[in-house]
Amino acid sequence: MAGGGDELKLLGLWASPFVLRVKLALSIKGLSYEDVEEDIFGGKSELLLNSNPVHKKVPVLLHNGKPICDSQIIVQYIDEAFPGSGPSLLPTDPLERAVARFWAAYVDDKLLASWLQSGKSKTEEEKAEAFKQTLMAVENMERTFNECSKGKPFFGGDSVGYLDVTLGGLVAWLHAAEKLHGVRLFDATRSPLLEAWLERFGELEAVKVVLPDVDSLVEYAKQRQAAEAAAAADAGGN
């Protein structure tokens, strides 16, 4: 629990992998917070716009009214601002901490970016190329897990660390994508270590209470696709 009169408020969207990343960090650290759901498609609140005037995006963590933006920065802040709550997420060794930050950025900049691009591509060639880049990123993360975990259950070793939380925000969506498209991004042939990690991480109690229902994510994705298709049709009309 956040102590010393600390007040935490999270502005987010239940389905966002970036918001889920922050929720995972808060849960693993055992911190209580007010969960404020934002309607980012229907109309962003004044609180969100004032708290993140540059990007106007979720998540935003308000700590005693002071905003912290960007999911990776928020997770690092949570770990540093509440050292006495729960396990440390970032390694204490400076080199290991730098390595964890490097690969956390890689998750967003390469793995997630190419995966999202594969779903948005308009031609089969573009889709195939983006998915090829995604699989290359998965292979790199497989090697990274082998190196960082040192044969232990998590990227952080015996306990969940910063990289586990960073990648953990995608867990529910990995399962949803399998239901939607029949594609298993982490599998026993291509990435056996990540496949085992995926199941192991998802069974943690601190994770179970955070991750959304997969069927609800599938329905949400279908609704968003339909809304985007309708908007595109309207934009192309006379």
User: Band of the pLDDT at 68, cuts 50, 70, 90?
Assistant: very high
Q: Is the pLDDT of residue 238 over 90?
A: no
Q: Is the pLDDT of residue 36 over 70?
A: yes
Q: Which residues on neighbouring strands pair with residue 11, listed in sequence order?
A: 36, 60
At residue 1, the pLDDT reads 41
Mean pLDDT of 5-30: 97
Write the DSSP assignment of the chain as a string of letters. ---TT--EEEEE-TT-HHHHHHHHHHHHTT---EEEE--TTT---HHHHHHSTTT--S-EEEETTEEEESHHHHHHHHHHH-TTSS---S-SSHHHHHHHHHHHHHIIIIIIHHHHHHHH-SSHHHHHHHHHHHHHHHHHHHHHHHHHHTTSSBTTBSS--HHHHHHHTTHHHHHHHHHHHS--SS-TTT-HHHHHHHHHHHTSHHHHTTSPPHHHHHHHHHHHHHHHHHHHHHHH--
pLDDT tens column, 91-100: 999 999 999 9
Range(s) for CATH 3.40.30.10 in the chain?
8-81
pLDDT tens column, 101-136: 999 999 999 999 999 999 889 899 999 999 999 999
pLDDT tens column, 113-122: 999 999 889 8
Instruction: Give the Cα separation of 77 and 73 in Å (integer).
Output: 6
Neighbours of 18 (CB within 10 A): 21
At residue 5, the pLDDT reads 74
- Identify the CATH number of the domain defined by range 94-214: 1.20.1050.10
Give, in words, the CATH class of 8-81: alpha beta
Q: Is the pLDDT of residue 208 over 70?
A: yes
Range(s) for CATH 1.20.1050.10 in the chain?
94-214
User: Band of the pLDDT at 2, cuts 50, 70, 90?
Assistant: low
Mean pLDDT of 166-193: 96
Place of tokens 């290991």: 96
Can you give the pTM of this predicted structure?
0.95
Share of the chain above pLDDT 70, in %: 97
Token pair for 188: 């026993």
